Amino acid sequence: MKITFLGTGKGGYPTLTRNCSAIMLECGDGIYLLDAGAPVLDLMTRLEVPFEKVKGVFITHMHGDHTAGLPAFLTACSWHYTDCSFDVFLTEERGIAAFREVVLAMDKVFHEDRIRLKKAEPGVLYRDENVTVTAIPTAHCQPYPSYAYVFEGEGKRVIFSGDLRRPDAPDFPVIALEEPSDAFICELCHFTTDHIFPIIEKCPAKQVFFNHVGGRVVEETLAAVEEFAKTAPMKVIAPDDGDSYTI
């Protein structure tokens, strides 16, 4: 299983060094996206990703920094990459309707027989020959739905927190504390490092990746991660855009 961090930046907008949230997971012969912040299509193209291998797109919530790259991605996979066939899980019915209309407005045709927009629901959401994906509700944008995701495949388990609720992550996914994982990908934008590090220390994860890096000064947040990594009971990394790791 391979994880590539396409965009690792904080919410709302890109910076000179970090794009908006998007992660690519490769397992077996499949490719899976977790969130689709802009410019996900461009980033995947530059990596020469075989788009016909994309099997699923999993959106944590509807905020623009996690979804703004989706219209271009859907349009390209509908009309240009004609071998594409995959499911796209969005958290709200109105999101499904809105993205359908955007693609139709841009391209006039949307091949929904191949690019299937679906509503995410709690529990086992997706299963194929490579992975099983479970959606766990969070409270990031209550009363609207948002999710953490668990990917299991090739004998590995990866937990992705998605965005959590300010200011102290009361919706931190319990599974990350109670069950071992090969990798836990945790956002680091909506709470302080002083609050989240003691929680992370309790996680039975082999390694933790801090993604969606925020804070008032990103450099200070990254410095705090570097210090935490020296004493943490697991491997701790704050990836840059484009970094890949084999789990």
Known catalytic residues are 65
Q: Cα dist. 46→40, 50, 61, 142 in Å?
A: 10, 11, 26, 36
Secondary element (H or E) of residue 235: strand 235-237
**pLDDT classification of 215: cutoffs 50, 70, 90:** low
Take residue 185 and report the two structure tokens written for it.
Answer: 């990908």
User: Mean per-residue pLDDT for 204-214?
Assistant: 94
Q: What's residue 218's pLDDT?
A: 84
What is the residue-averaged pLDDT of the chain? Answer: 95
**Secondary structure (3-state) at 89:** strand
Q: Report whether pLDDT(217) > 90.
A: no
Please state, in angstroms and rounded to a whole number, the distance separating the CA atoms of residues 196 and 134: 23
pTM: 0.96
User: Mean per-residue pLDDT for 12-25?
Assistant: 90
Give CB contacts under 8 A, 24+ apart, made by 10-18.
10/189, 10/212, 10/213, 10/214, 10/215, 10/218, 11/63, 11/65, 11/163, 11/189, 11/190, 11/212, 11/214, 12/64, 12/65, 13/65, 14/38, 15/218, 17/240, 17/241, 18/213, 18/218, 18/240, 18/241
Q: What's residue 188's pLDDT?
A: 93
Please state, in angstroms and rounded to a whole number, the distance separating the CA atoms of residues 244 and 247: 10
Give 225-241 pLDDT, tens digit per residue: 999 999 999 999 999 99
Q: Where in the chain are the domains? A: 2-246
Give 136-183 pLDDT, tens digit per residue: 999 999 999 999 999 999 999 999 999 999 989 999 999 999 999 999
Partners of residue 84 on adjacent β-strands: none
**pLDDT classification of 10: cutoffs 50, 70, 90:** confident
**CATH fold of 2-246, please?**
Metallo-beta-lactamase; Chain A (3.60.15)
